[in-house]
């Protein structure tokens, strides 16, 4: 039997046309096996219950090369990464393939091959990676009511958990837990690099140390801490819940100790230290005496053991110790009294005659070389000098007595010789 292939081809074409109905109304096309027309909203309507559509399949290199001639809206399938891509006129945007997200009630879980989520770019390095080219990038956890939080749950107590602040990919600051459950802010994930540290077991806070022995311990060089004030001074208060309070303060360049009994609502006593003096501003009933509250110089020194001191008075010019009041002691020593009057017994000393002494006393009202009552009332008595002058007069008196005794002895001898 002779087969006419020309008629066979015509028959095949007719069967295909019967299977595929094309509507040219408004340029729409429908491809199906039931003869239905295209949907009004579609330019191309493909219908099948057991087949799909294959779009152009390219490798990544081929897709990248196509970018030079592609138009916006072009779609291809990348066989290297097994994903759809859409060209937006400038670059390729990745479409979803498979179950990128799968839902389970109200929760969603990533199920892509790497198990990572990239926001802002297609190649995430971390499990959740956000990239933003603008000046700011934020992630917010917000609750419409009650608490809002972010939980970092470690696999075991020995692991570290932390948040990292990076600059161009380098870890600059780490915030998290170290040494099982202690909290730290450091320059690495190691506990040894802790800059700010909180022990969970004690609640102690360490700055510059990872082993704080007190509620707050600061470790550093000799310039360990600084209190800075925009006013004329800075104050550090030490407050007790059961006892009185103290504070260390600076004021106009001076140092102060401040005592309070009411949590510094008021200042009970103040003790100021200047480079030259100590000024108590206190109701004093201690060994310095009793006084009403006043700025005082009761204890004022110009240095360590070398300055001047005033007790109950202002400074007396030229004197190391000034006292307004009486002094009682068991012994008072005056050292280095110059020109002690042993010279009175020297052969060169000219002892005033009793006649001249009598005339001097009648004229001046006091002994020679001894200050008058007016001078003593005005300038006081120099103890060392007065002791020297008194010794001079005692030695002179001794010479007068010796001379008189010689004269008495001479008179006795003369009387004896005269037989009287």
Handedness of CA 412, 414, 419, 420 (dihedral sign): negative
Q: Does position 357 have pLDDT exceeding 50, yes or no?
A: yes
- pLDDT for 126 equals 78
* Lowest-confidence segment of 178-187, 289-298, 343-352 by average pLDDT: 289-298
- pLDDT for 81 equals 87
- pLDDT for 288 equals 47
Q: Does position 375 have pLDDT exceeding 70, yes or no?
A: yes
**Same domain? 261 vs 321:** yes
Has residue 104 been placed in a domain?
no
- pLDDT for 361 equals 92
Is residue 131 a contact partner of residue 118, using CB atoms and an 8 Å limit?
Answer: yes
Task: Determine phi and psi for 180, rounding to 5 degrees.
Answer: 75, -80
170: left (phi over 0), alpha (psi -120 to 50) or beta: beta
**Same domain? 246 vs 284:** yes
CB proximity list for 53: less than 8 A, separation 6 or greater = 46
**Same domain? 354 vs 323:** no
Would you say the pTM of this structure is higher than 0.85?
Answer: no
Quick one: how far is CA 297 from the chain centroid? Answer: 36
Is residue 264 a contact partner of residue 236, using CB atoms and an 8 Å limit?
Answer: no
What letter does residue 39 receive in the DSSP assignment? Answer: P
Q: What is the average per-residue pLDDT within 250-264?
A: 85
- Token couple for 221: 């060089």
Count of the separate structural domains present in the chain: 4
**Same domain? 247 vs 279:** yes
Has residue 141 been placed in a domain?
no
Q: Give per-residue pLDDT as tens, 80-133.
A: 988 899 999 998 888 754 555 554 444 444 545 566 777 776 677 777 777 777
What is the pLDDT confidence band of residue 59, given thresholds at 50, 70 and 90?
very high
Range of the domain at 413: 341-418
Has residue 78 been placed in a domain?
no
Is residue 316 a contact partner of residue 322, using CB atoms and an 8 Å limit?
Answer: yes
Which residue shows structure tokens 């103890």?
A: 383
CB environment 314-326: b (16+ within 10 A), e (fewer): ebeeeeeebeeee
Quick one: how far is CA 107 from the chain centroid? Answer: 45
Query: Hey, which residues does 420 pair with through a beta bridge?
Result: none
What is the pLDDT confidence band of residue 356, given thresholds at 50, 70 and 90?
very high
Has residue 131 been placed in a domain?
no
**How far is 351 from 400, CA to CA, in rounded Å?**
9
**How far is 281 from 115, CA to CA, in rounded Å?**
72
Has residue 196 been placed in a domain?
yes
Has residue 73 been placed in a domain?
no
More confident site: 175 or 20? 175
**Same domain? 195 vs 247:** no
Query: Hey, which residues does 185 pair with through a beta bridge?
Result: 175, 196
Has residue 239 been placed in a domain?
yes
Has residue 140 been placed in a domain?
no
**How far is 75 from 57, CA to CA, in rounded Å?**
10
Which of 9, 34, 53 finishes a domain? 53
Is residue 194 a contact partner of residue 184, using CB atoms and an 8 Å limit?
Answer: yes
Beta strands (DSSP E) in 305-344 are 309-311, 321-323
Beta strands (DSSP E) in 28-95 are 29-31, 44-46, 57-58, 75-78, 83-87, 92-94
Which of 11, 32, 53 finishes a domain? 53
**Same domain? 299 vs 253:** yes
């Amino acid at each position: 039997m002779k087969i006419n292939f020309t008629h066979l081809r015509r028959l095949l074409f007719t069967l295909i046309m019967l299977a595929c109905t094309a509507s040219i109304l408004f340029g729409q096309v429908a491809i199906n096996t039931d003869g239905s027309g295209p949907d009004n909203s579609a330019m191309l309507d493909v219908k099948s219950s057991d087949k799909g559509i294959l779009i152009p399949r390219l490798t990544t290199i081929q897709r990248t090369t196509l970018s030079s001639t592609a138009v916006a809206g072009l779609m291809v399938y990348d066989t290297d990464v097994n994903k759809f891509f859409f060209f937006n006129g400038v670059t390729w945007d990745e479409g979803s393939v498979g179950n990128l997200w799968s839902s389970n009630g109200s929760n969603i879980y990533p199920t892509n091959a790497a198990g990572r989520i990239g926001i802002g770019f297609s190649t995430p390095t971390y499990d959740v990676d956000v990239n933003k080219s603008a000046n700011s990038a934020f992630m917010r956890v917000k609750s419409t009511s009650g608490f809002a939080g972010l939980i970092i749950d470690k696999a075991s107590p020995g692991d570290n958990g932390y948040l990292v602040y990076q600059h161009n990919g380098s870890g600059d600051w780490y915030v998290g837990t170290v040494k099982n459950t202690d909290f730290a802010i450091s320059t690495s994930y190691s506990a040894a690099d802790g800059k700010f540290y909180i022990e969970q077991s004690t609640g102690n806070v360490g700055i510059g140390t990872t082993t704080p022995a007190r509620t707050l311990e600061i470790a550093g060089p000799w310039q360990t801490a600084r209190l800075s004030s925009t006013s004329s001074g800075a104050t550090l208060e030490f407050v007790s819940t059961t006892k009185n309070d103290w504070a260390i303060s600076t004021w106009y360049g001076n140092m102060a100790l401040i005592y309070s009994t009411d949590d510094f609502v008021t200042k009970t006593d103040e003790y100021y230290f200047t480079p030259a003096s100590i000024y108590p501003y206190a109701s004093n009933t201690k060994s310095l005496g009793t006084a009403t509250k006043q700025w005082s110089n009761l204890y004022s020194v110009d240095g360590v053991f070398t300055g001047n001191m005033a007790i109950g008075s202002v400074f007396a010019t030229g004197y190391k110790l000034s006292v307004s009041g009486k002094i009682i002691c068991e012994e008072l020593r005056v050292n280095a009294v110059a020109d002690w009057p042993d010279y009175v017994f020297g052969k060169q000393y000219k002892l005033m005659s009793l006649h001249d002494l009598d005339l001097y006393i009648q004229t001046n009202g006091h002994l020679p070389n001894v200050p008058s009552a007016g001078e003593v009332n005005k300038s006081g008595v120099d103890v060392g000098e007065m002791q020297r002058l008194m010794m001079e007069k005692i030695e002179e008196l001794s010479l007068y007595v010796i001379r008189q005794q010689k004269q008495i002895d001479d008179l006795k001898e003369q009387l004896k010789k005269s037989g009287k």
